[in-house]
Chain A
Amino acid sequence: MKKLSARRRHPLAALVVLLLALAATGGLYAAFAPADKAKADETAQSLAIDEGKKLYSVGCASCHGTGGQGTSDGPSLVGVGSAAVDFQVGTGRMPAQQPGAQVPKKKVIYSQAEIDQLAAYVASLGAGPIKPTEKQYSPEGADIAKGGELFRTNCAQCHNFSGKGGALTHGKYAPSLEGVEPKHIYEAMQTGPQNMPSFPDTTMPQKQKQDIIAYLDAVNSEKTASPGGLSLGGLGPVSEGLFAWIFGLGALIAVAIWIAAHSAKAKKS
């Protein structure tokens, strides 16, 4: 210690301290900064962007413009993020078949690898919501009842109590959520596709999104039990009323006709 203390006024001391400080900062930065992508990964990423750009030019550019800047036929894709691409293309909504009130869900024509390439390209145009990982959208261990309350507060006014869908103005509609993959539900909440408002993490944290996904999984999926019998579409009193008129009263009138046809007089003739 004495040695160090004796040389503290050495002309090069300041330089040494500076070097040590720089080394420490650099080391700390290296240790704590986001891990640098490996060289190979980086090339894979730029390769994906290149491939995505090719797919984009063929399938999307006619409406969204050659650089994703948008045209009169389609909105700009700058800043929509990879989550939006994964939802729109992954559910078959994009590429759109025709203009209309709303672009419907249809057969998916790209493979997941191609969708990822498209997503990489669109994400490179500007920062936006990133495609979620399985850990983010998995309903594992989420609170179903809480999800139900959140769903009734935020979603039911368009998608119905249990996500059977509903009408919006001028031919637009909130689609049924039956059989929609958890990933796509998560992405829809995050990005707000078409007429849907978006629910970013600032207004609806990841945990709440998982709760909602868990609720839908419980009440509107293949494994949902209907303890009362046929659910009649789960649409409420209109379908129940139709059923009561056609099958209820219809059957009773048929019975009445049958009884009246078996009167003493009818038997005689």
Chain B
Amino acid sequence: MSTTTTDERREAGNGEKFADWADGRLGIYTLAKTNMRKIFPDHWSFMLGEICMYSFIIIILTGVYLTLFFHPSMNEVVYDGSYVPLQGVQMSEAFNSTMHISFDVRGGLLIRQIHHWAALIFLAGMFVHMMRVFFTGAFRKPREVNWLFGFLLFFCGMFTGFTGYSLPDDLLSGTGVRFMEGAILGVPVVGTYLSFFIYGGEFPGGDFVARFYSVHILLLPGIMLGLMITHLILVFYHKHTQFAGPGRTNKNVVGAPLLPVYTAKAGGFFFLVFGVIAIIAAIASINPIWEIGPYRPDQVSTGAQPDWYMGFAEGLIRVMPGWEINLWGHTLVLGVFIPLVIFPLVLFAIAAYPFIEAWITKDTREHHIADRPRNAPVRTGIGVAWVTAYMVMLVGGGNDLWATNFHLSLNAITWFVRIAFFVGPVVAFIITKRICLGLQRRDAEKVLHGRETGIIKRLPHGEFVEVHEPLDAGQLYKLTAHEQTRPAELPAAVDENGVKRKVSAMEKLRVKLHKGYFGEQSQIAKPTAEEFEEITSGHGHH
């Protein structure tokens, strides 16, 4: 860049001057040049991640406000605030300050409710976002690591939520903290030590609120913020996936540029998300701790459930039979320990799936076109099976409310959940795969014979036929763009020199699974160009 100024040049405007100043120090020209025209494809399901990001920002903003008034202390005080039914009751300072926020701080209750509702929506949004990525195969190379970052965000979110709703030290969350102590005590050998370490002695002690507070406002959100920024940088770096369509290939991205269109839309969307959450927080009560009362280890209420994202763990512990083994004066509480092991296993199973699929397919190409779920029936089936197992356990976690609201026996629900946890996913897998194959057949039918118009035509000789309208090229492309993998075969048992080939057991398993994914029973051959040619060149219908 030349530094000499010639007289013909006009004087630079203030904005230009500032931009120049900033560029000299931050190098924003290069940054902006490469990124301002970054393209984002348009589809509603690509905005699910945005819902998560915006609700996370809302949580941080409201959370900062709450920290101004919350006292993370378990010192005993007597309540003398404005809520009459608790006046004179002994409680911890944490509960007292939450009551103060709810009743005596201007806007406190609204901010508390925005914070809590946004947390529930944040987690729900992450769940749905994760499922979108799963079912469209958007986790395939090069995005596996970003899938893991996303999963870690969900996982950390669960525990940020748990430590957060435990802070008011109310009777409901205190029961949850006690539940956690029980789970930790259920760990063989180290359980008691861990419990004493976490609670600073015997439960509940005087420490856990202050400790949870540090974890809730500092440690976990810090990790999550880092993960989220990395997640976004990787989305930028990889570019967003898109669905196949006219002009959309594996090598391009079709959509609106980051500036100005996308930024304007995203900025507007942030305010819409904030607005929707604020409206919900203004009309619906959440975690009314004044009704629940302060925590006391000798009290408990029915209907003691965690927030929804921990409901799955609650279900596992509720439906698990109370087995235990007593040996040499020690007790192994299987009724608690087995759920404690299954809980992370189920979560990590979905996290590990991309790597398992990559191992089976041995596909090392990059994929930037999102799959339509029907075109990957086995993956879609596995995803639905996983969601089924998750949802069955959510039912188990709320078994008492199912019992009272639907006039059922609690024990019958518990048995239903025990059986459905194993049978449900299998049934869901089979049904989902059948539906996917059916949809594939329908696509093939549409490609070859066109769209059913609903118009019935009578031919001169009296026959009635329905008029089919051929699809346009764009739709034809959309329905046939996916590639169909041929099932793998094991190499011949004997090679050309007559030497017996050694095939490892793992490789045999892989080939078997590959056949399961791409064999005849798992995909419907899409129409070939010849078939299409033959049918469309003929006259009339047949």
Residues of chain B within 8 A of A143, CB atoms compared: 88
Report A261 CB to chain B, min CB distance, Å.
Answer: 8
Residues of chain B within 8 A of A156, CB atoms compared: 171, 299-302
A34 on the B face (CB < 8 A)? no
CB-nearest residue of chain B to A231: B285
Residues of chain A within 8 A of B121, CB atoms compared: 244, 248-249, 252
> With A219-B291, A244-B124, A255-B272 known to touch, is A238 a contact of B398 (CB < 8 Å)?
yes
B281-315 interface mask toward A, CB cutoff 8 Å, 1 = contact, 0 = none?
Answer: 11111111011110010111111111110010000
Partner of B308 from A230, A232, A245 at Cβ < 8 Å? A245
CB-nearest residue of chain B to A155: B301
- Is B403 in contact with A244, judged by CB distance below 8 angstroms? no
Complex: how many Å from CA A241 to CA B285? 12
The size bracket of the interface on B is 35 or more
Report A248 CB to chain B, min CB distance, Å.
Answer: 4
Report B278 CB to chain A, min CB distance, Å.
Answer: 11
- Is A218 in contact with B84, judged by CB distance below 8 angstroms? yes
B407 on the A face (CB < 8 A)? yes
> With A218-B84, A232-B284, A259-B44 known to touch, is A161 a contact of B410 (CB < 8 Å)?
no
B538 on the A face (CB < 8 A)? no
B214 on the A face (CB < 8 A)? no
Report B506 CB to chain A, min CB distance, Å.
Answer: 41
Of A18-26, A63-71, A78-86, A165-173, the one touching chain B: A165-173
Residues of chain A within 8 A of B45, CB atoms compared: 256
Residues of chain A within 8 A of B282, CB atoms compared: 229
B400 on the A face (CB < 8 A)? yes
A215-234 interface mask toward B, CB cutoff 8 Å, 1 = contact, 0 = none?
Answer: 10011000000111111101
Partner of B302 from A167, A252, A255, A259 at Cβ < 8 Å? A167
- Is B285 in contact with A230, judged by CB distance below 8 angstroms? yes
CB-nearest residue of chain B to A164: B303
- Is A236 in contact with B42, judged by CB distance below 8 angstroms? no
> With A145-B87, A170-B411, A171-B410 known to touch, is A160 a contact of B303 (CB < 8 Å)?
yes
- Is B48 in contact with A253, judged by CB distance below 8 angstroms? yes
Complex: how many Å from CA A157 to CA B301? 4
A120 on the B face (CB < 8 A)? no
Residues of chain B within 8 A of A247, CB atoms compared: 280, 284
Of A41-49, A89-97, A146-154, A188-196, the one touching chain B: A146-154
- Is A160 in contact with B302, judged by CB distance below 8 angstroms? yes
- Is B285 in contact with A232, judged by CB distance below 8 angstroms? yes
Total CB contacts across the A-B interface at under 8 A:
206
A122 on the B face (CB < 8 A)? no
> With A167-B302, A171-B410, A227-B103 known to touch, is A259 a contact of B269 (CB < 8 Å)?
yes
A210 on the B face (CB < 8 A)? no
- Is A169 in contact with B411, judged by CB distance below 8 angstroms? yes
Residues of chain B within 8 A of A232, CB atoms compared: 284-285
Residues of chain B within 8 A of A231, CB atoms compared: 285, 288
Complex: how many Å from CA A226 to CA B46? 38
Partner of B400 from A167, A228, A259 at Cβ < 8 Å? A167
- Is A145 in contact with B89, judged by CB distance below 8 angstroms? yes
Report B144 CB to chain A, min CB distance, Å.
Answer: 26
Which of A165, A174, A263 has the most CB atoms of chain B within a 10 A radius of its CB?
Answer: A263
- Is B42 in contact with A260, judged by CB distance below 8 angstroms? yes
B276 on the A face (CB < 8 A)? yes
- Is B276 in contact with A252, judged by CB distance below 8 angstroms? yes
B117 on the A face (CB < 8 A)? yes
Residues of chain A within 8 A of B400, CB atoms compared: 166-167
Report B395 CB to chain A, min CB distance, Å.
Answer: 10
Complex: how many Å from CA A144 to CA B308? 32
Report A222 CB to chain B, min CB distance, Å.
Answer: 16
CB-nearest residue of chain B to A215: B85
Residues of chain A within 8 A of B307, CB atoms compared: 237, 240-241
Known: A259-B269, A264-B261. 13 other contacts (CB 8 A): A143-B88, A149-B89, A156-B300, A156-B301, A167-B401, A167-B404, A171-B407, A229-B285, A232-B284, A235-B401, A240-B307, A259-B265, A261-B44
Q: Show the binding face of A for B, using Cβ within 8 Å.
A: 101, 143-146, 148-149, 152-153, 156-162, 164-171, 173-174, 215, 218-219, 226-232, 234-245, 247-249, 251-253, 255-257, 259-261, 263-265
A-B contact pairs, 8 of them (CB 8 A): A145-B88, A152-B296, A232-B284, A235-B303, A242-B308, A251-B276, A255-B276, A256-B269
